[in-house]
Chains A and B, each alone.
Chain A
Amino acid sequence: MLAALFIIISVTWFISKLLPGTPFADQKLSAETRAQLFAKYGLDEPWPVQYGKYMLHVVQGDLGNSYYFQGRPVTEIILARLPISAFLGVQAILMGLVTGLVLGIVAALRHNSFWDSAATVLAILGVSVPSFVLGPILQYWLGVKLGWFPIAFFESWRHSVLPSLALSVFVIATVARFIRAEMLEVMGQDYTTLAKAKGLSRLAVVMKHVLRNALIPLVTVLAPLTIYIITGSLVVEQIFAVPGIGEEFVRSVVVSDYAMILGTTIFFSVLFILALLIQDILYGMIDPRIRVSGAKE
């Protein structure tokens, strides 16, 4: 894990040196000013020295200074924007989990009925329609036509509704499909038949026996969903002009703020690798066979 992270940082650093142009390409800058700027950011030193210094700083949690925001530390910018992205992401996952669970449970309990088909169609639509298509549609329909929610920026909770909704549709779809399939399987098990035969009420059978057993494997989709939310924030924050990390990353790409690109990539990678690690651990806890055979799929 750490080795993978080390290589990712090194490769990204190297790529950032390969990028065409410099962050200070403005024609109006005189040669001396440019030289001063290069000296200030340590860009005049030989590559190995720059690399060594950078890695030393990264270990201490310092990702360098932004070229665009007059030398503000990258770490500071990321930490300032993190709460917004995290809030959107957590809200989207919660919205998605609740709605997805309700949809999936209804679909499974009313198997092969109208509700089942409706939930299935909704789920496949949710997986297929990408967030950057859904975002504009939501803005147009709920924001402009109906005027219920503001369509951009991030000033109050109301501003967070549409971006969270756009992010959560994929979560809803995934959770609904997953829980429907799991419930149908559990409902065919002998212990469910036994619970019914004991004379338990339908509610008790579903709540105590079916749902509990169907919920366990749901833990395994949470990590992939977290990864999806991280990637999705790149898209959604862009559309809704939310000042989060994803929006910052796309902006830094457009203005060639290499320090920022590098820092954000490292930050994303750490999150990503953590999510993958947690996923592996959860898999092992839920299905001990995976640990025994030692084969990861």
Chain B
Amino acid sequence: METRRPELTPDLFEQIEAGLQDSERIVGPPIGFWRDSWTRLKKNRGALVGLVVIVAVIVVAYAGPLLSPYTPFGQDLARRFSVPSSQFWFGTDEFGRDMWNRVWIGTQVSLYIGFLAAFLDLVVGVVYGAISGLFGGRVDDVMQRGIEILNGVPYLVVAILAMLVLSPGIITITIAIGLTSWTYMARIVRGRMLQLKEQEFALASRSLGANRARLLTKHLIPNSLGPMVVNLMFTIPLAIFSEAFLSFIGLGIQPPDTSLGALINEGYKELRFHSYLLWFPTAVFSLLMLSFNLLADGLRDALDPKMRK
């Protein structure tokens, strides 16, 4: 087949003003990782409700006791077992202590434990995991054996043993939670490090002369933020649960101090006669756990679109 070739001369072409760069222009404002995630999170009604409830519980836990003329420790046997009323919003316990105040100082303990565990997760867990994953080899082996040993005992048993050696109280709970809460985070971060450090962008950064610290802080950690945040959010309810359980069996916070777990235990003993003593701490506790779990679920979907099913 023969094709006719028309003569192509420059005057056949017309210069258009639009520059070549136009196709490369970014139309919308750049959307970063966090804004993108936030947009997705906002669509998740459950997660938003969780976030709002958590903020509300934090505010009420600290502001609530100010609204009441009573103290959490003031005893008055004349008013013991008052049912909830306009005078005592959540009623009073067997020593006539105001439950409204006791529930909220108990919530403060739970919140403290939750955020402490999150902090330890971030500091100990991330550093441990990062070192283990980044260095690899023998260092990794030794550090992983360490985690294996801690994981080989149920975390509640580790916590109970810690409570036995030291005297029960908030500091001991802090140590017990600190011993156990960070191992999962360390494993996740290590896994990410092993995976990421072999990828091209890490290689590129290293060949440009970046040292380990720079590689870690500029590339590897930012790229692991998604799984880290998600794991963080699941650590918090677990830690709150551990403290409440220890207090529930009497090994945690000691009277007259209290926590939600201790309050649930006290209410549980009065279940048949003064059931309101159980319902208020139980409701606050369940609400808190539920909200953290909802938020964690939503964050997992928002930060890691691949996980969305």
| B286 adjacent to A128 (CB under 8 Å) | yes
Q: Is B309 an interface residue (CB 8 A)?
A: yes
Q: Is A90 an interface residue (CB 8 A)?
A: no
| A297 adjacent to B191 (CB under 8 Å) | yes
| A238 adjacent to B249 (CB under 8 Å) | yes
Q: Which residues of B contact A295 (CB under 8 A)?
A: 191, 194-195
The docked-state distance in angstroms from the alpha carbon of A12 to that of B153 is 10
Q: Is A269 an interface residue (CB 8 A)?
A: yes
The 8 A CB mask of A131-159 against B (1 = contact, 0 = none) is: 01100110110001000000000000000
Which single member of A5, A124, A261 contacts B290 (CB below 8 Å)?
A124
Q: Is A213 an interface residue (CB 8 A)?
A: no
Shortest distance between the CB of B252 and any CB in chain A (Å): 12
Q: When A8-B153, A269-B152 are in contact, do A15 and B251 touch as well, CB less than 8 Å? A: no
Q: When A19-B165, A130-B245 are in contact, do A272 and B290 touch as well, CB less than 8 Å? A: no
Q: Which residues of B contact A36 (CB under 8 A)?
A: none
Q: Is A181 an interface residue (CB 8 A)?
A: yes
Q: Which residues of A contact B194 (CB under 8 A)?
A: 295
Q: Is B128 an interface residue (CB 8 A)?
A: no
- Chain A residues numbered 235-287 whose CB sits less than 8 Å from any CB in chain B: 235, 238-239, 249-250, 253-254, 261, 265, 268-269, 272-273, 276
Q: Which residues of B contact A19 (CB under 8 A)?
A: 164-165
Which single member of B164, B244, B275, B297 contacts A140 (CB below 8 Å)?
B275
Shortest distance between the CB of B213 and any CB in chain A (Å): 23
Q: Is A185 an interface residue (CB 8 A)?
A: yes
Count contacts between A and B, CB distance < 8 Å: 111
The docked-state distance in angstroms from the alpha carbon of A227 to that of B164 is 23
Q: Is A18 an interface residue (CB 8 A)?
A: yes
Q: Is B8 an interface residue (CB 8 A)?
A: no
Q: When A136-B271, A231-B154, A253-B160 are in contact, do A296 and B148 touch as well, CB less than 8 Å? A: no
Q: Is B293 an interface residue (CB 8 A)?
A: yes
Q: Is A127 an interface residue (CB 8 A)?
A: yes
Shortest distance between the CB of B113 and any CB in chain A (Å): 14
Q: Is B138 an interface residue (CB 8 A)?
A: no
Count class of interface residues, chain A: 35 or more
The docked-state distance in angstroms from the alpha carbon of A203 to that of B200 is 47
Q: Which residues of B contact A206 (CB under 8 A)?
A: none
> Which residue, of B188, B285, B294, has the highest number of chain A Cβ atoms within 10 A?
B285
Q: Is A207 an interface residue (CB 8 A)?
A: no
Q: Is B278 an interface residue (CB 8 A)?
A: yes
Q: List 7 A-B contacts (CB under 8 A).
A: A12-B161, A130-B244, A137-B282, A140-B271, A185-B309, A272-B152, A276-B152
- Beyond the given A15-B165, A18-B165, A130-B289, could you list 15 further A-B residue pairs with CB under 8 A, ordered by the A residue number? A3-B145, A124-B293, A127-B293, A128-B289, A130-B241, A136-B282, A185-B309, A230-B154, A231-B154, A234-B154, A235-B245, A253-B160, A254-B250, A269-B153, A297-B187
Please report A residues at the B interface, Cβ cutoff 8 Å. 3-5, 7-8, 11-12, 15, 18-20, 124-125, 127-130, 132-133, 136-137, 139-140, 144, 181, 184-185, 227, 230-231, 234-235, 238-239, 249-250, 253-254, 261, 265, 268-269, 272-273, 276, 295-297
Please report B residues at the A interface, Cβ cutoff 8 Å. 46, 145, 148-149, 151-157, 160-161, 164-165, 167, 187-188, 191, 194-195, 237, 241, 244-245, 248-251, 261, 264, 268, 271-272, 275, 278, 282, 285-286, 289-290, 292-294, 297, 309
